[in-house]
Structure 1
Amino acid sequence: MNVKIIEPTDGVTPTLIAAGKGDFGVSYQEDVTYALASEDPLPIKAIATVIQHNTSGFASYVGKNITSPKDFEGKTYSGWGSPGEEAVIHAVMEKYGADFSKLKMVTSDNVNYDALKKNIDVIWMFWAWDGIGAKRQGIDVNYMELRKLDPRLDYYTPVIIANNSTLKKDPEMVKAFLAATTKGYEYAMKNPDAAAEILHKYADSYDLGMLKESQEYLAGKYSEDSNTWGTMKDSVWDNYTDFMLENGLIKKRIPAAECYTNEYLPK
């Protein structure tokens, strides 16, 4: 199978896939739910999850002794400024008995890790990239995984999505794509160093040592608690959909069956 890979602007992948500008795209559960719960729903569906659990979390410099959302009071958080981001922070602070109004939130495209020692106290990161990146720069952080703060936040991120029309019209092509993709991730799980070297061959602007550490970490995460790569569960979709509905991020509940399918993954 000959696959052409393009890198779109952040946040537009569901719209592009819905418009037929690509056969498959990389998104995440929250965006898919937004797209399906909107007044004009997009014709998309998740067909595989890249990682079984949400490995993202909040990070702070160890020297500031911020180890829980309770410690966010009076601190400064830097993020990308989305409603979902604010809802998650509000919810975990409330759960841990903290006053969300006492947290200062600033929006920034990118925070230098060194800023955690200075004017920024908390950021949201994925350990496989920013956590390892910070550590390699000599900046030790306290890391608070979202799934450990609230089980409902253990959603799928990232996921592979497709247009409903593609799924209906060319199911064999979709199955072939996912069969090849599954082989790739299975190889990466067994051979993280070699997988990093292959990635570096096509993205040589990234540090090879960084890629190897990242792949070593992810090798145990791709199919964590699952016998197969890519499969998803109703409970994970339903839990986060309920969280989004409860926090006013969506106006109606979307059934898990409308959000994803395991039908095209290798049997």
Structure 2
Amino acid sequence: MERQHQRKGWKSKGAAAFAALLVIAGCGAGGNGGSGNEGGAAASPSATAQPLKEIKVVLDWTPNTNHTGLYVAAAQGMWEKRGLDVEIVQPPESGADQMVASGAAEFGVGTQEGLTLAREQDIPLVSLAAVIQHNTSGFASPADKNITEPKDFEGYTYGGWGSPAEEAVIGSMMKEQGADVGKVNIVNMGMADFFTAVQKDIDFAWIFYAWTGIEAEQRGIPINMVYLSDFNEQLDYYTPVLETSEKMIAEQPDVVRAFVEGASEGYEYAIEHPAEAADILLEAVPDLNAELVKESQEWLAGKYQDDAPRWGEQKREVWSGYAEFLREHDLLKKELDIDAMFTNEFLPE
């Protein structure tokens, strides 16, 4: 879940991912995602008498508690009863966006950041649900560096993954306090582990607290967190999200509805039963750190839905606010159709 352990940060994935997406944009986003709806019966519980519709959902990085609801849905038959046989797969180096855009996977775990930039390149990805209602990411540093607010970034080295958005985000937060992002040394630390990197040549990095922050607690390593959403409401965007393509929505809406309803049931279970949900994730992925998963799951249980009327619901102002932030920092060159970028249509009432 962190920017190091789940590094597809901008779904980021740096220049390679967007280069791949540009190739897809040039040849169309059809792929093999529109393979028919098999009579439209896939979304109905009565369809269980029929062969299950096989589909894929690709993660954004290695399995973690951002994904628990998906593993719950798979383990407890929440998709099967809706006529779906869902395979959860890990992404290629270029990320989930490319697989979903090309049709290699029907659904994926993405971010508002990556999807927004994909839409600028005319890659028709659509967000179906917000996995977590508010942005729980921020800039973490060892407590002894005394970096407790954006102005403290001056004179320190930030380790990122090479996205132009990083400097824009850091700079906007610092500007609010009259500080200068030009006084921050920004370096690309690639896939380096946060805990290793801060012992060497960086001072702070972008992480998700629910994974790396909790791991720091368990290791007995004090850290300070500077959360994005505390300093700029435009940065309280959705990360991660469940995504699909416009083609899937147009050609197989019943499959989309069945997938989203099953995922919603899985995340609702994780909200209500975090300990049991953690066990389900660990059973599916036994190599994960069990204590980290359990504590992370407990922390996230109240974050998935938070103050939204239902799990997954998205607000237009969140999508338009982040797009405006990108335009203000010259990272978005054209106007986007905000309403085409997300939908709440397939969420259960």
Instruction: Answer yes or no: same fold by TM over 0.5.
Output: yes
1:171-221 CA-partner distances (Å, limit 9, x unpaired):
111111111101100000011111111101111111111001100110000
Change in Cα spacing, 1:106 to 1:127, as seen in structure 2 (3 Å) is: same
Change in Cα spacing, 1:71 to 1:127, as seen in structure 2 (3 Å) is: same
Q: What is residue 183 of structure 1 aligned with on the other side?
A: 265
Question: What is the CA–CA distance in structure 1 between the aligned matches of 2:103 and 2:221, rounded to whole Å?
Answer: 43
Question: What is the CA–CA distance in structure 2 between the aligned matches of 1:82 and 1:152, rounded to whole Å?
Answer: 18
Letter in 1 for 2:90: E
Written as runs of structure 1 = structure 2, the 5 A alignment for 1:256-267 is 256-267=338-349
Q: What is residue 24 of structure 1 aligned with on the other side?
A: 107
- Does 2:290 match 1:214? no
- Percent identity of equivalent pairs: 44
Number of aligned positions between the proteins: 265
Written as runs of structure 1 = structure 2, the 5 A alignment for 1:71-150 is 71-108=152-189, 109-113=191-195, 115-116=197-198, 119-150=201-232
Question: What is the CA–CA distance in structure 2 between the aligned matches of 1:236 and 1:9, rounded to whole Å?
Answer: 29
Change in Cα spacing, 1:11 to 1:238, as seen in structure 2 (3 Å) is: farther
1:98-132 CA-partner distances (Å, limit 9, x unpaired):
11111111111123425435542111100011101
Q: What is residue 151 of structure 1 aligned with on the other side?
A: 233
Q: Aligned-pair RMSD on alpha carbons?
A: 1.3
1:227-252 CA-partner distances (Å, limit 9, x unpaired):
20111010000110000011011101
- Does 2:283 match 1:201? yes
1:224 CA displacement: 0.7
- Does 2:179 match 1:60? no
2:87 counterpart SS class: coil
Question: What is the CA–CA distance in structure 2 between the aligned matches of 1:115 and 1:22, rounded to whole Å?
Answer: 34
- What TM-score does the superposition give when structure 2 sets the normalisation length? 0.74
Contact 2:269-2:277 at 8 Å conserved across structures: yes
Question: What is the CA–CA distance in structure 1 between the aligned matches of 2:152 and 2:246, rounded to whole Å?
Answer: 44
2:91 counterpart SS class: coil
Letter in 2 for 1:3: V
Question: What is the CA–CA distance in structure 1 between the aligned matches of 2:173 and 2:209, rounded to whole Å?
Answer: 19
Contact 1:78-1:111 at 8 Å conserved across structures: no
- What TM-score does the superposition give when structure 1 sets the normalisation length? 0.96
1:11 CA displacement: 4.4
2:259 counterpart SS class: helix
1:2 counterpart SS class: strand
Q: What is residue 68 of structure 2 aligned with on the other side?
A: none
Contact 1:114-1:139 at 8 Å conserved across structures: no
Question: What is the CA–CA distance in structure 1 between the aligned matches of 2:297 and 2:125, rounded to whole Å?
Answer: 29
Letter in 2 for 1:158: P
Gaps of 5+ in 1: none
1:243 to 316, 325, 338: 325
Letter in 2 for 1:4: E
Letter in 1 for 2:241: V
1:159 CA displacement: 0.6
Contact 2:131-2:240 at 8 Å conserved across structures: yes
1:17 counterpart SS class: helix
Question: What is the CA–CA distance in structure 2 between the aligned matches of 1:245 and 1:11, rounded to whole Å?
Answer: 25
Contact 1:238-1:255 at 8 Å conserved across structures: no
Question: What is the CA–CA distance in structure 2 between the aligned matches of 1:217 and 1:262, rounded to whole Å?
Answer: 25
Change in Cα spacing, 1:97 to 1:90, as seen in structure 2 (3 Å) is: same
- Does 2:120 match 1:37? yes
1:74 CA displacement: 0.7
Question: What is the CA–CA distance in structure 2 between the aligned matches of 1:68 and 1:95, rounded to whole Å?
Answer: 11
Question: What is the CA–CA distance in structure 2 between the aligned matches of 1:51 and 1:88, rounded to whole Å?
Answer: 20
1:113 counterpart SS class: helix
2:268 counterpart SS class: helix
Question: What is the CA–CA distance in structure 1 between the aligned matches of 2:337 and 2:230, rounded to whole Å?
Answer: 25
Contact 1:13-1:26 at 8 Å conserved across structures: yes
- Does 2:312 match 1:230? yes
Choose between structure 1 and 2 for higher RCO, CA contacts under 8 A separated by at least 6 residues: 1
1:13-46 CA-partner distances (Å, limit 9, x unpaired):
22221111111011100111101112xx112211
- Does 2:150 match 1:69? yes
Question: What is the CA–CA distance in structure 2 between the aligned matches of 1:112 and 1:224, rounded to whole Å?
Answer: 28
